[in-house]
Amino acid sequence: MSPPVLPLGSIPAALDLAGIAVFALSGALLAAKLRQTFVTMAFFALITGVGGGSVRDLLIGAPVFWIHDPWVAPVCLATAFVAWFTPTRWWDGELLDWADAAGLAAYSVIGTAKSLAYGVPIVPAVLMGVITGCVGGIIRDVIAGRPSILMRPELYVTAAALSAALAAALSGLERAVAWPIAMTAGFALRGLAIRRKLALPAYGRGQRQD
């Protein structure tokens, strides 16, 4: 059976690569802050940029997307090159957080849509969307030896889950309608978390009360 026609053609290639570059930059900047070599920086950029999509493709039985694309790996490496030659203070503040929020929402939707196109049931497809948006950052953090986004209360994975769930729920609509709604919802939730420091409550049942 030939692979399905994937619903990704409506995303301009430049926009797709820009989203990957944002994720790659976050990986490269972490390596820079840890005072690592360029090799480590390039590795962090690549694993953060393609990690989530690679895990998704392996799980749903699709060709790993960046292996067959002549631009993805060079863009990740070029992003590391840019980060190497620029001071980290250029990227301080919330600019990168907001760009990352946009990439998170977009790739959570893309991952869900691709999984549905490969016949994955709705709930696993939503989880594949979350994996697409988040796993690259999780791998980066684990390798760096710092608490991953899964271990922090901030609304990050939750924002990815919102975009992915809406993408699945609205999959019967035209992509031009469903995708912007799903992306905007996840981006807005992540934006509220950035602005207002929103976080999930920590587990507290059964704790001693002094």
In the chain, which residues have pLDDT < 50? 1-2, 5-10
| Dihedral angle of Cα 182, 183, 188, 190, to the nearest 10 degrees | 110
**pTM for this prediction:** 0.88
Per-residue model confidence (pLDDT) at position 97? 87
Per-residue model confidence (pLDDT) at position 206? 63
DSSP letter for each residue of the chain: -PPP--TTTTS-HHHHHHHHHHHHHHHHHHHHHTT--HHHHHHHHHHHHHHHHHHHHHHHTPPPGGGG-TTHHHHHHHHHHHHHTS-GGGG-SSHHHHHHHHHHHHHHHHHHHHHHHTT--HHHHHHHHHHHHHHHHHHHHHHHTS--GGGS-BSSHHHHHHHHHHHHHTTTS-HHHHHHHHHHHHHHHHHHHHHH--BPPPP-TT----
CA distance 138 to 20: 15
- Measured in degrees and rounded to the nearest 5, phi and psi for residue 198 equal -70, 140
Per-residue model confidence (pLDDT) at position 209? 53
Q: What is the pLDDT of residues 97-115, one digit of tens each?
A: 888 898 899 899 999 999 9
- Measured in degrees and rounded to the nearest 5, phi and psi for residue 120 equal -75, 135
Q: Are 48 and 139 in contact (CB under 8 A)?
A: yes
